[in-house]
Amino acid sequence: MIINIPENSDFSIHNIPFGIFSTADRSPRAGVAIGDHILDLAAVAELDVFDFNTAVLEKDTLNDFISLGKAITKKVRVDIQHWLKDEASILAGKPELFVLQSEANMHMPVAIGDYTDFYSSIEHATNVGKMFRDPENALLPNWKHIPVGYHGRASSIIVSGEPIHRPKGQVLPRDASTPVFQASARLDFELEMGFITGRNTAIGESIATKDAEDYIFGMVLLNDWSARDIQKWEYVPLGPFLAKNFASHISPWIVTLEAFEPFRVSGPQQEPKVLPYLEYEGNKNYDIQLEVDITPEGSEEKTVCRSNFKYMYWNMVQQLAHHSVNGCNINVGDLYGSGTISGKDENSYGSMLELAWMGTKPIKMKDGTERKFINDGDTVTMRGYSEKDGIRIGFGEVSAKILPAK
């Protein structure tokens, strides 16, 4: 191996995820994570080993690189894997091609033109339905027929590590009939996965489930923050607005769909039978272990959730097929959120709303304090990885600190 990869690294040779990084002497550019290092793809391109216009590797987003298509992006990934294994390859004896991750700044990997958030975990939808509606009819009548989704705000999606201020908005106090304007007292995380599209379609085109994977470049971790008290007041009749558009965080490394091939699994049984355009063949869910940790300021990290992407009722190919079935065009770099990922037991719920059950079951931190929702000074960190038969790939983390409202 050309470079040492620590055991249990998310960034094994089986991964090769793409991102945008910079250092004190390197402008933002494309790189891949390998162990504790980043392979500088713009520097590799100077060795004249790629058969495409490598100016795309010097851009400050991956959009143009992704636009080259999977025939090229897959070959780059496979070539890098071969070069890393070959002690006589073009990477050998060239330490200047590698940068320590600890010495690099990570940037938004893509320019996100549009963002759609789905609502595709049956466990999460059921929990929320029990809390806010009739527990006997927790799911709305349409839920098992369509991958429910809504249009989110793309401009406020930011990369891991960037702190955010607590949002403000209108809240309806208990037993009140008129709202007040205040900082949210019920700030929550939402554990999600996001996928990024790698091909454009024209208005009027739709994508079949059998072709959808050709349009998905890769995945990121997504923390889709939510202000529950603002949301409760505003979401009827048209859904969340200020409760969601203040910020969402993504992990900086995009793990390609190809890297997850060994981790395909079957999804939940879908009853009733879905309409023909949502039918699919093969295993379209993925076994990705997920966790959420909260670190109070000056204290230790506490794991509050362990979940898994395999639980999703609606999978990514169904989401993309549904999104485009009416002729909606998609673009390279668009982001699609899974919706909160909750599992079947209480420890696997993907939000504080569920974990603390609307504040009735506070979670104790290691410093003795309790959390019903997220406090100022708290850092929320999400991690995700897949592991099987000696192969491990992961995302690193998406992490952010909550600052007081401005």
HEC readout, 145-179? CCCCEEECCCCCEEECCCCEECCEEEECCCCCCCC
**Calpha distance 66→62 (Å, rounded):** 6
Q: What is the DSSP string of 331-369?
A: -TT-EEE------SSGGG-SBHHHHTTTTTSPEEPTTS-
Give the strand pairing for 302-308 and 105-107. unpaired
> Is the bond preceding 237 in cis, omega lying within 30 degrees of 0?
yes
CA nearest neighbour of 115 among 85, 146, 155, 80: 155
Encoded tokens for 262: 């060994």
CA 126 to chain centre: 22
**Calpha distance 41→263 (Å, rounded):** 27
Rounded to 5 degrees, what angle do the CA atoms 51, 54, 58 make?
A: 160
Whether 151 is a known active-site residue: answer no
Q: Over the range 15-33, which residues count as b (16 or more CB within 10 Å of their CB) and which as e? A: bbbbbbbbeeebebbbbbb
Contact 310, 264 (CB under 8 A): no
Residues 6 or more apart whose Cβ sits within 8 Å of residue 187: 166, 167, 225, 226, 227, 228, 373, 374, 402
Q: Which of 124, 249, 322, 323 is catalytic?
A: 124
Q: Catalytic residue numbers?
A: 124
